[in-house]
Amino acid sequence: ADMTDQEVTACRNALFVSDPEVERRRAISATGARARGTCEWIKLNEHYRTWLGGNNKDGSRLLSISGGLGTGKTMLSIFLTYELERHTANMDNANLIFFFCRSHDEARDTGTSLLRSLVHQIITKRPQLIKHVLRYFKTPKSAQETLSSRFHLWNIFSHLVADEGLGMMFCVLDQLDQCKDGDLSSQLAAIPGHPSIKGSFRLLLVGRDFPELEWFPRIIVNKKSIFNDITLFASARVKELVSVQGFNNDFRGFNEKFRHLMEAALIQRAGGKFLWVSVAMKVLSQKQTRTEVWEALQHLPTSLPAMYKYILQSIPTEQKTISRTILLWVSMAQRPLGWLELAEAADTKPLGPAFCDAISYLKPLLEIKNDEVWPTHRSVRDFILQDFPRVHPKLFRCDPFRFDPEQAHLEILQACLDCVARNTLGDGPRTANGTSNLQESPLMRYAMAHWAAHVEGCSPIGDKL
């Protein structure tokens, strides 16, 4: 029997993961606003132009863009989503779908979530194609199984993009290599050239590297291709700093000549990395005078790992313990944490001086938006965990900001279990009638939802519990 309109709506709603527009705004918040004139070079690239307006041959339906750490790939993805929206607005039966992977949200950055999002976007833009989904949602049990099954979701997605009713559909997937539950790029690469594809599905993959796609057209983002963009980006960020900090007057020495000196120094030291400029500007924004800004800029290391080490080593000794705890939780949590959750995890008052000072020292490594805190880039997490098995443990014990991944998960798991015990076994706050008041514990919801993920993360040493 045909499903009712209410059942069709329920099916579509069940597939919802997050609003793509909200995720794009999050990505903009994390990377910073695009400087005017940047990313425009991609529109002149031969591979991109062929992919955009190709004749629908197999080889023109897939394009990958790859580049090293901090080279502005996500900024480029954001730019392309806006460009493709403008492009499809002038075409019949043409649309864009996209997905931004976020390294700081383990619960969302999965192949399952990505496929659910793409399926949801397609059936929202092409309601007539929901027929490919409905047979998987005939009963509550089959619906629940489908929502958690990458196999079923892949089958649905494959049928959707093979339907001639799809029309022209562009798809941009940013940082696909960050999805944690297996490689999707090889599977996705097979889609555009599959003989069953009757519509025009154009796929653009953006990430650090896709060696399995070496036979397909590829654009490599390097220092040469983005040199002009780095110049524009550095100039925009210096103007922003001067404006926000109130440095924009000759009396304080932040005249046009000094701004040009800063821009030149940033470009020279950045090594073609937008991320280096972004982190450097966060460090410089904490300074008060022209002399402090210039001296800090001259002392900043030119590599990102060395920059991260420099920032962490600059934290005063009395602040290292609480700063370590905050960095541990922000880096290893399954989702971005709120202020109150993070303060409870650090066993301190959320607006107390110790907590606020620690956040201030760590600020160059953090993104803080809408009461949520997460690492400014996945390379921060990579840095504090990197090479742990290959370095003697004694060296790590000397550095409070380097973590054994299993030990870090164990530490968070123990805190989660302690939180649950305090609030459910009689030690937690109580209401007037004697029942437990779980809302009193900001961390309780996280502990209940994600303790199992930390069990999995620390399983080799879990017997220490």
Tens digits of per-residue pLDDT, 110-126? 889 999 999 999 999 99
Q: Are residues 77 and 212 in the same domain?
A: yes
- The whole-model pTM stands at 0.85
Residue 237 located in a structural domain: yes
- Boundary (domain end) residue, out of 271, 300, 329: 300
Residue 81 located in a structural domain: yes
Per-residue confidence (pLDDT) for residue 389, from 0 to 100: 45
Q: Are residues 85 and 198 in the same domain?
A: yes
Q: Are residues 234 and 103 in the same domain?
A: no
Taking a C-beta distance cutoff of 8 angstroms, is the pair 230, 267 a contact? yes
Q: Are residues 13 and 126 in the same domain?
A: yes
Q: Are residues 385 and 247 in the same domain?
A: no
Full residue range of the structural domain in which residue 23 is found:
5-221
Residue 400 located in a structural domain: yes
Domain count, the chain: 3
Integer Rg of the chain from CA: 24
Structure tokens at 65: 């863009």
- Boundary (domain end) residue, out of 221, 251, 279: 221
Residues of the chain scoring pLDDT < 70: 1-3, 54-60, 103-107, 180-183, 189-199, 244-253, 387-398, 425-439, 460-465
Residue 77 located in a structural domain: yes
Q: Are residues 217 and 296 in the same domain?
A: no
Residue 305 located in a structural domain: no
Give residue-wise pLDDT tens across range 209-257: 877 777 788 999 988 889 999 999 999 999 888 876 666 555 456 788 8
CATH code for the domain of 399: 1.10.10
Residue 199 located in a structural domain: yes
Name residue, tokens 């929206």.
85
- Boundary (domain end) residue, out of 260, 276, 300: 300
Per-residue confidence (pLDDT) for residue 33, from 0 to 100: 87
Q: Are residues 210 and 243 in the same domain?
A: no
Residue 307 located in a structural domain: no
Smallest Cα–Cα separation from 376: which of 244, 268, 443, 276? 276
Q: Are residues 364 and 437 in the same domain?
A: yes
Per-residue confidence (pLDDT) for residue 360, from 0 to 100: 94
Per-residue confidence (pLDDT) for residue 363, from 0 to 100: 94
CATH code for the domain of 49: 3.40.50.300
Q: Are residues 317 and 355 in the same domain?
A: yes
Report the distance separating Cα 115 and Cα 213, nearest Å: 20
Per-residue confidence (pLDDT) for residue 101, from 0 to 100: 87
Per-residue confidence (pLDDT) for residue 106, from 0 to 100: 64
Q: Are residues 148 and 53 in the same domain?
A: yes
Q: Are residues 202 and 348 in the same domain?
A: no
Q: Are residues 162 and 230 in the same domain?
A: no
